[in-house]
Amino acid sequence: AQSVTQPDIHITVSEGASLELRCNYSYGATPYLFWYVQSPGQGLQLLLKYFSGDTLVQGIKGFEAEFKRSQSSFNLRKPSVHWSDAAEYFCAVVLGAGSYQLTFGKGTKLSVIP
């Protein structure tokens, strides 16, 4: 079955430390890939997306993600975490070809220690 896996339910990092959130997908073809963030009391905000081309994509708030076809992964990274990055992060995919519904992973909750 087609799926998106975020293996880490909860991650805690110290402010200033680097961050990597993992995402793997299970599809036959390369889908469109997204990372969204939900801060407390807020809606989902798009951090970055990958459709094609350069496999390292830059997003907002200093985040980047790298698409690795061989690993079916799209991991999210940030070199130095800020306390305001504490939120829940969702990886999502769209198959394309007229079907633009998003399929989400279960999310990773990020806590930041001052």
Partner 1 sequence: EAGVTQFPSHSVIEKGQTVTLRCDPISGHDNLYWYRRVMGKEIKFLLHFVKESKQDESGMPNNRFLAERTGGTYSTLKVQPAELEDSGVYFCASSLSVEQFFGPGTRLTVL
52 binds partner 1 (CB under 8 A): no
Cβ proximity to partner 1, 68 vs 106, nearer residue = 106
Q: Does 94 bind partner 1 (CB under 8 A)?
A: yes
Instruction: By CB under 8 A, tell whether 14 contacts partner 1.
Output: no
Tell me the residue type at 14.
S
Q: Give 21's contacts (C-beta < 8 A, 6+ positions apart).
A: 6, 8, 11, 35, 75, 76, 77, 89, 91, 108, 110
Contact set with partner 1 (CB under 8 A): 4, 32, 34, 36, 41-46, 49, 51, 90, 92, 94, 96, 99-107
